[in-house]
Amino acid sequence: MEQFTEGAATIIASAGKISKQLSVFYNPVMAYNRTLSITLLRALGGKQLLAADPLAGSGIRGIRFLKELPPGTIAGHFLNDIRQEAAAAIRKNLRLNHARAAVCCQDARMFLLHSQGFDYIDIDPFGSPNPFLDAAVQRIRDKGILAVTCTDTASLSGTYPKTCLRKYWAVPSRTAQMHEIGLRILIRKAQLIGAQYDLALHVLFSYFKDHYFRIFFRCERSKEQANSLVREHGLIQGAGPAYLGRLWDSNIVHAMYQAAPDPFLRTIAAESAIPAAGFFDIHALCKQHKLPIPKTAALLAMLQEKGYAASTTIFSPYGIRTTAPESLVRLISRSHAARQ
Ligand SMILES: C[S@@+](CC[C@H](N)C(=O)[O-])C[C@H]1O[C@@H](n2cnc3c(N)ncnc32)[C@H](O)[C@@H]1O
């Protein structure tokens, strides 16, 4: 076992290569995932939350919430893990951090279904969140926040199309847009599970980063709202069905960016203002039409000059999200190339 510090938490977890076999591990790659969760809950402000971390591992996420969120934000925190070693480590780590939370050691589904419900549930499994979505939507309270992490990116991003169809009920895309489309497919799947219980899962904030998808839903008990969300499902670039609505609530994004102005949030702040599902991958577009690749900044400026919204995207280093049609993007690339 080794000691790790992340944010305001210091924890003890297994050292060595991260794998399912390690009883309790610390994954530094997920530090930003945890930090962004705190940034989002801070941005939401106000309401006291009864929170649950049904797949808590070492407990680091919950401990950071307890130590880094303004006092009183978390009215109570439940940290659960199916492994006894993890539950024991969570207790130790809570003591080490002088933090208080209820610790449980059950299957996450049983833990959730036996509970009275929570205002915040964080589903952070190995791989797919599928096994836990049903119990989570049944136990998230009205107006509560459901956070979902998914590291099953290969299926959702087109490496295993049959698996994607079977597990996420949609055809993925193996193009430059694969990560945005994968995220949208996962959102739709969760929304359909919510809709079965007359629960609308509105997307508050979502992204793809490193090797995972992450979505925060604001959950509302409303048949009408659930129906409206289902009407936002459809095909995108020949893939899907997927959720075609907004990936971000712009008020939340701006509050988050003001509090934590990092490059990732800066890009999201810009693209969250653009009402377009999907983006143009400039490298792919120029290759297809045998055009030289224009400079991104120049292309953005020209699209904006013509009155279209345009920005870079977190989903691809060569992607441009814009309200302009493809014909215009091509035309501008061509005229820009002619001037070079
Ligand atoms: C990705 S880790 C969690 C990491 C943790 N949330 C963090 O931020 O460090 C997934 C955890 O889920 C636990 N787990 C796997 N299947 C479970 C189940 N059915 N019920 C509860 N916990 C489970 C594993 O023991 C593991 O600790």
Considering the chain, tell me which residue range(s) the CATH 3.30.56.70 domain(s) occupy. 273-339
CATH superfamily of 2-260+262-269: Vaccinia Virus protein VP39 (3.40.50.150)
| Amino acid occupying residue 242 | A
0.85 cut: is pTM over it? yes
Tell me: the pLDDT tens digits for 117-135?
999 999 999 999 999 999 9
What is the bridge-based pairing of β-strands 199-209 and 212-221? Answer: antiparallel
Mean predicted confidence (pLDDT) in 95-119: 98
Q: Is the pLDDT of residue 19 over 70?
A: no
Closest ligand 1 atom, CA of 24? Answer: 27
Phi-psi category of residue 240: left, alpha or beta, with phi > 0 → left and psi -120 to 50 → alpha: left
CA of 20 to the centre of ligand 1 (A): 9
List of residues 6+ apart from 119 with CB closer than 8 A:
47, 48, 49, 50, 51, 140, 141, 143, 144, 145
Under DSSP, the state recorded for 248 is B
Which residues have CB under 6 Å of ligand 1?
A: 27, 30, 34, 54-58, 60-61, 81-83, 86, 107-108, 124-126
Closest ligand 1 atom, CA of 58? Answer: 9
> What is the pLDDT at residue 337?
66
CA of 199 to the centre of ligand 1 (A): 25
User: What would the two tokens of residue 299 be?
Assistant: 């292309």
Whole-number Å distance between alpha carbons of 6 and 9: 5
Mean predicted confidence (pLDDT) in 318-336: 90
In 3D space, the residue among 87, 31, 19 whose CA is nearest the CA of residue 59 turns out to be 87
Mean pLDDT of the chain, nearest integer: 95
Tell me: the pLDDT tens digits for 312-326?
999 999 999 999 999
Which of the four pLDDT bands, split at 50, 70 and 90, describes residue 21? low
Whole-number Å distance between alpha carbons of 182 and 213: 8
Indicate the CATH number of 273-339 among 3.90.180.10, 3.30.56.70, 3.30.1490.440, 3.40.640.10: 3.30.56.70
Whole-number Å distance between alpha carbons of 153 and 113: 27
Torsional sign, CA 155, 183, 316, 212: negative
Mean predicted confidence (pLDDT) in 104-111: 98
